[in-house]
Amino acid sequence: MSATGSEGALERVREADLAAFCREVLAFAGADLETADAATRAMLHASRLGVDSHGVRLLDHYVRVLRGGRVNGTPMLRFDRADKPVAMLDADHAHGARATYAAMERACLAARRYGIGAVGIRNSSHFGAAGAYALAAAEVGLIGLVVCNSDAFVRLHGGAERFHGTNPIAAAAPSGSGRPWLLDMATSAIPYNRIVLHRSLARPLPEGTASTESGEDTEEPDLAAMLAPLGGAFGYKGAGLAGLVEILSALLTGMGTSAELLPMTGPDLSTPRGLGAFVLAIDPQAFVGRTEFEAGMRRYVAALRGSAPAEGARVLAPGDREWEEAENRARLGIPIDPHSLEAFRRLSEELGVPPPASIQR
């Protein structure tokens, strides 16, 4: 979400203060240093780029699953075939960010050696915004791809029951200059956490994105019982992409399909969910060569941004909107929705962790 317009009235926090608060709260909740750092890095990635549904508003949930036992705050990550281009990671029910950053780092090492590196992840948990991990590859000059399934909350095209998760797909590539090309999308019309955020902000949902329990479209977040697949009248495309994510993240890793996973929001916060995920890194040097690839990316992105816009519209490359929002938030601070603000204050009191300075009254 943008931090402009009606969000201008929301309380804002400096990123550095927010990061310090998140790390300390997670440590008090039982996370080791690597887990607290990874979870904070992933949440701040989303909050920095304006993806508030997957940002620091997840802190309270992560504390609850750490305390409840669903997420292992001190995991022992185990890689199988770690010296090969393809590996499996048993995450020991770690926080999803801890597991996925480690998997992408290993995939990047393999890509440097073999040209391509892929890691399937077993026994993981919710990892937030998939783009955080794809971006980690692009930041070191590689192409990154990340997918993960989630508990069923999305109906099929023409369906009236939950079948797939929001099943995100994220990809990133170095642009040759400036910020990376970055795509981060749910295969549902909107992510589930957008419903939670809109409830907090008392805002209607976009038309055609959610359905009631009986499968009827609704724009009221309190009545939304399932999401629509991406694509509107062509929702079979979104449902098909969700199926691809299911194959790569669940079936390829031996984990449960969306319909077999425990719900993210409980009520059981003690049983590990056993999520699967899949990450891929590609080194352009092994194909056309880094110099030629980056030159091609510069031509492509320049042509994309220079394409003729429709009247009153603007053409953007994937990631442009997010990078602009990151610049705004670097100046103005990160906006905090009312429910998250209240959760921060409660966590501060419960754990004895000083709140970010700008939240203090």
pLDDT category at 199 given cuts 50, 70, 90 is confident
pLDDT category at 2 given cuts 50, 70, 90 is very low
Please compute the mean of the pLDDT values over residues 326-333 and round it to a whole number. 94
Please compute the mean of the pLDDT values over residues 250-275 and round it to a whole number. 96
Please compute the mean of the pLDDT values over residues 330-338 and round it to a whole number. 92
Length reported for the chain:
361
Please compute the mean of the pLDDT values over residues 244-252 and round it to a whole number. 98
**pLDDT tens digit string along 154-197?**
999 999 999 999 999 999 999 988 899 999 999 999 888 788 88
Please compute the mean of the pLDDT values over residues 76-101 and round it to a whole number. 95
Q: State the pLDDT at residue 194.
A: 83
Rounded distance between C-alpha atoms, residue 133 and residue 51, angstroms? 14
> Is the pLDDT score of 7 beyond 70?
no
Pick from 280, 273, 232: which is nearest to 118 by CA?
Answer: 280
Q: State the pLDDT at residue 228.
A: 95
Is domain 75-331 in CATH 3.30.1370.60, yes or no?
yes
> Is the pLDDT score of 273 beyond 60?
yes
> Is the pLDDT score of 326 beyond 90?
yes
Q: State the pLDDT at residue 197.
A: 81
Helix (H, G, I), strand (E, B) or coil at 97: helix
Share of the chain above pLDDT 70, in %: 96
Mean pLDDT, the chain, integer: 93
> Is the pLDDT score of 5 beyond 50?
no
pLDDT category at 361 given cuts 50, 70, 90 is very low
pLDDT category at 9 given cuts 50, 70, 90 is low
**pLDDT tens digit string along 111-141?**
999 999 999 999 999 999 999 999 999 999 9
Beta bridge partners of 146: 170, 279
First to last CA, the chain: 26
Helix (H, G, I), strand (E, B) or coil at 253: coil
Rounded distance between C-alpha atoms, residue 281 and residue 278, angstroms? 10
Asked whether the beta carbons of 238 and 187 are under 8 A apart, the reply is yes
Q: State the pLDDT at residue 178.
A: 86
Share of the chain above pLDDT 90, in %: 87
Strand order in the sheet with 86-90: 78-80, 86-90, 116-124, 275-282, 143-148, 169-173, 181-185
> Is the pLDDT score of 59 beyond 90?
yes
pLDDT category at 201 given cuts 50, 70, 90 is confident
Domain boundaries of the chain, sorted by first residue: 75-331
What pTM value is reported for the model?
A: 0.93
CA distance readout (Å), 192 to 46, 166, 197, 341: 15, 7, 9, 20
